[in-house]
Chain A
Amino acid sequence: MKIKFRIRRYNPAESEESAPYIQAYTVDVSEGMTVLEALLKIADEQDPTLAFRKSCRSAICGSCAVTINGFSRLACSTQVIPEFKKMGDMVIEPLSNHAALKDLMVDFSPFWKKIEKVTPYLTPKGGSENAAITTAEETAIDSSQKCIMCGCCNSECNALEIDGKYIGPSALAKAWRFVGDVREGNSVKRLERLSEEHGMWDCVRCVHCTQYCPKDVAPLKQIEMLRSAAMAKGILDNPGAKHVEALVESVRKIGRLDEAAMTFKTLGFLRSLGMIPLGFKMQIHGKMPHIHLFSQIEKIDEVKRIYEETGREKEEKKEKKG
């Protein structure tokens, strides 16, 4: 089957002003051929100047991530024919949120800097002689360990698209690998650092990272575990944690989310004042949320009971008794 590949090319060596452009190649694609095999075929038979990264060809090394028809994927684990049949096109571009160096190759140094920021190695308590852990303890950090550092999640991340300083899903998933390890001696310090600006609370929960991760690392899930670990450790002095606390209290009291109270509790008094001009405008359109004093859901006692009987709060109650 002959398929037209449209590949984004870029070669800054040609001139300082060179801009990316799309070049088309027609490839005779056989059943089962992957996008990486097609790229290799183009380089072999049509254009040896086409630049792209690859190594293992079996979704283990993480080198060949590119944007295929708008979404970040491994070229070696994406078959051409089903992809073309579904999307009706075959557009290959470099990863997003990464600067292109040449053609499909991107600069990975910002990616590694973010990973380095989370100190990606274990710092055990007192040098811990015995490094063995149980299967259950290992399972807790298992997803994070599947990461092959391909960059698909950072490429898809909507928060990184806007704020390049954001730590990003790959580094956060890696951070959970160490925070969640029972042998780690500096989990609290790590969580404190991750709670700073451009840290884990800046995730916009767009779920792109988890949707497009080729190894099912589910970075969003790891971010949620980091956040709840930080809250359990009492690291609450930041807008992200305050926002969650406000919701937890609102649902406990009335069973619902109380927008007015949540804004106030998250922003604090001074920043809430800044919302007043918008508040007036919202009021004119009948959009100002009211404080719910009496509008509880029915059977709120069931909700209260569930709070008392569940996970963290149950544990805390036990500890107090003990």
Chain B
Amino acid sequence: MAATLKYAYYPGCASQEITKEANETTRLVAKELGIGLYDMPKANCCGAGLLTDYDYDLYIALNARIFAEAEEMGMDIMTICSTCLMVMSRANADLQKNTALMAKTNEILGRAGLRYTGGVKIKQLLWVLAGDYGLDNLRKKVVKPLDRLKVAPFYGCHSLRPSDALGFDDPAKPWSMEATIKALGADPVEYRGKTKCCGFQVDLVNEETAETMTATRLLDGKAKGANCFVTPCPFCHINLDNYQNLAEKRVSKKISMPVFHLAQLVGLSLGLSAEELGLSRHMVSPESVLK
């Protein structure tokens, strides 16, 4: 039953700083829903995909250190970042299917007094809502149905692919965001770019690609009638909201598309205030769609 859900909570680095409204809102929403989130004070950064470009063994060992903390707490991990989800899930899958790697990693962890046996599952808020908690239960908690919102679900990349390591949703025909949006009383908008990349990983490497990509996704959803976007990932949020202005300049088009974190959309339907949701921290004000 929903009330007994407990997770080792891994907000990820971005949501402890630049997108901290996602972290704060998730805590409020979890409280309202009766989902227990337990802090992981020792948890290090998963590597955000970049550690794999430096040293595979280090990437695996540092991720195993995160899993070891959750294992000690006796809980699965819930994150609110799709990149953390993907990075940790790939490491976990590699460790679980490769006993030699697990042994080698534990030898390294052992020198720091740690151990991981492979018993932790990695989830994200979206999966917890659409899976463990259940959308029927979520629907019952809605006090303010979001019936004026036409929401473009932006899955991005790392909540869907690679599906052999992630395994919750189907990258060719995803359903979890649309179903969650409907449970909150809003209308999901169908558009091709919903499972594509926001460009975040090359923000600092190739701005032209990153900004054009961000603009393309936003314009795609807008053309299909969306009046707002929602994303389960803070990195996608950084590009879609924070850098929307740069994207507009790059393609010389006004976009003005409010973008919500998944937790904020849930929070809105639970009756939390704009202040509690940290909406003033957005670069593109969502005021127009909340009247």
Q: Cβ of A247 and Cβ of B50 under 8 Å apart?
A: yes
Q: Is A126 an interface residue (CB 8 A)?
A: no
Q: Is A239 an interface residue (CB 8 A)?
A: yes
C-alpha gap A305/B42 in the complex (Å):
14
For B55, B160, B216, which residue has the most chain A Cβ atoms within 10 angstroms?
Answer: B55
Instruction: Give chain A nearest CB distance to B18 CB in angstroms.
Output: 5
Q: Cβ of B213 and Cβ of A302 under 8 Å apart?
A: no
C-alpha gap A208/B196 in the complex (Å):
9
Contacts of B62 in A (CB 8 A): 251, 303, 306
Query: A213-265: which residues lie under 8 A (CB-CB) from chain B?
Result: 220, 224-225, 227-228, 231, 239-240, 243-245, 247-248, 250-251, 255-257, 259, 262-263
For A227, A303, A310, which residue has the most chain B Cβ atoms within 10 angstroms?
Answer: A310
| A312 to B, closest residue via Cβ | B55
Q: Is A158 an interface residue (CB 8 A)?
A: yes
> Which of B112, B158, B281 is A302 in contact with, Cβ under 8 Å?
B112
For A205, A220, A310, A313, which residue has the most chain B Cβ atoms within 10 angstroms?
Answer: A205
Contacts of B197 in A (CB 8 A): 158-159, 204-206, 208
Contacts of B246 in A (CB 8 A): 278
> Which of A161, A224, A259, A313 is B17 in contact with, Cβ under 8 Å?
A259
Q: Cβ of A255 and Cβ of B45 under 8 Å apart?
A: yes
Q: Cβ of A206 and Cβ of B281 under 8 Å apart?
A: no
Q: Cβ of B57 and Cβ of A207 under 8 Å apart?
A: no
Q: Cβ of A211 and Cβ of B161 under 8 Å apart?
A: yes
Q: Cβ of A204 and Cβ of B201 under 8 Å apart?
A: yes
Instruction: Give chain A nearest CB distance to B78 CB in angstroms.
Output: 18
Contact residue range for chain B?
Answer: 35 or more
Contacts of B52 in A (CB 8 A): 224, 228
C-alpha gap A244/B50 in the complex (Å):
5
Q: Cβ of A207 and Cβ of B53 under 8 Å apart?
A: no
Q: Cβ of B213 and Cβ of A311 under 8 Å apart?
A: no
Query: A267-322: which residues lie under 8 A (CB-CB) from chain B?
Result: 267, 278, 281-282, 285-287, 289-290, 292, 297-299, 301-303, 305-307, 309-313
Q: Is B163 an interface residue (CB 8 A)?
A: yes
Q: Is B58 an interface residue (CB 8 A)?
A: yes
| A260 to B, closest residue via Cβ | B17
Q: Cβ of A263 and Cβ of B209 under 8 Å apart?
A: no
Given A70-B172, A162-B209, A205-B49, residue A309 in contact with residue B54 (CB < 8 A): no
- A-B pairs, top 7 by smallest CB distance, nearest first, are A311-B57, A207-B161, A206-B197, A257-B13, A227-B53, A158-B197, A302-B112
